[in-house]
């Protein structure tokens, strides 16, 4: 299973989402939407072995988490406004209690809480925080195979299961990510330049899709 968590420090967590100002009044919700699309969508559909949790910390009200599960989601199209429309429906609802996931629609779940709760949900996963200043995500002598050998494979069409690596990636919006005091998280880099979240997610998918040996 591939898991992604992106922190939206200013992302709106409740109320009427301003669909015409996602980058401004919505608190850089556009960054989170692009991350969602990069994590779940391929050119022909959804990745069945992937989920993403959007952390909405900008208020009003308590922090909120939205989990979108690739194997279940319906009604989302490869267009930012379509994704924003689905998020807007959830934001009109009260924030659920911490630790309780409420299904809002197919593949979209709603909960309260912060990154600590997400890490508890991911207790069986290897957790990587992307940090340009850390050591590389791949091993020193790694090569890109001449033939794809995915580290995570979707077998849903055959038996409803996924197989392979269970890894969770944490990344942030345009603000620095502070994980001080949080255990179980290894920092890894995909390069010296700080990249936009959706590009970083695409690189992580590429490494796993091709079977590059990772530095975990």
Residue 95 in any domain: the answer is yes
Domain assignment present for 144: yes
**Prior bond of 60 cis (ω within 30°):** yes
Instruction: Give domain status of residue 90, yes or no.
Output: yes
Tell me the average pLDDT across 37-53. Answer: 94
pTM of full prediction above 0.75:
yes
Long-range contacts of residues 23-32, Cβ cutoff 8 Å, at least 24 apart: 27/58, 28/173, 28/174, 29/84, 29/87, 30/80, 31/6, 31/173, 31/174, 31/196, 31/197, 31/198, 32/6, 32/8, 32/56, 32/173, 32/197
CATH of the domain at 97: 3.40.1280.10
Give the pLDDT score at 76: 87
Q: Is residue 127 a part of any domain in this protein?
A: yes
CA 46, CA 68: separation in Å to the nearest integer?
11
Does 158 map to a domain?
yes
* pLDDT category of residue 159 using cuts at 50, 70 and 90: low
Over residues 51-78, the pLDDT tens digits come to 999 999 999 999 999 999 999 999 888 8
**Residue 216 resides in a domain:** no
Which is more confident, 67 or 163?
67
Segments forming the whole domain that contains residue 164? 2-210
Asked if the structure places residue 151 within a domain, the reply is yes
CA nearest to 214, candidates 162, 146, 114, 144: 144
Residue 107 in domain: yes
């Amino acid at each position: 299973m591939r898991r992604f968590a992106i922190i939206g420090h200013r992302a709106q967590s409740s109320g009427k989402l301003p669909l015409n100002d996602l980058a401004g009044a919505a608190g850089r919700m556009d960054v989170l939407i692009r991350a969602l699309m990069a994590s779940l969508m391929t050119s022909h559909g959804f990745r069945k072995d992937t989920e993403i949790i959007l952390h909405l910390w900008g208020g009003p009200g308590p922090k909120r988490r939205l989990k979108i599960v690739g194997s279940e989601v319906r009604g989302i199209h490869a267009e930012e406004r379509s994704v924003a429309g689905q998020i807007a429906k959830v934001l009109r609802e009260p924030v659920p209690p911490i630790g309780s996931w409420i299904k809002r629609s197919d593949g979209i779940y709603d909960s309260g809480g912060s990154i600590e709760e997400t890490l508890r949900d991911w207790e069986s996963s290897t957790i990587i925080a992307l940090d340009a200043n850390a050591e590389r995500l791949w091993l020193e002598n790694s090569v890109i195979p001449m033939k794809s050998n995915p580290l995570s494979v979707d077998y849903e069409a055959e038996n409803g299961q996924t197989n392979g690596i269970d890894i969770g990636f944490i990344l942030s919006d345009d603000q620095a990510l502070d994980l001080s005091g949080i255990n179980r998280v290894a920092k890894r880099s995909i390069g010296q330049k700080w990249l936009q979240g959706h590009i970083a997610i695409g690189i992580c998918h590429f490494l796993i899709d091709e079977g590059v040996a990772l530095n975990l």
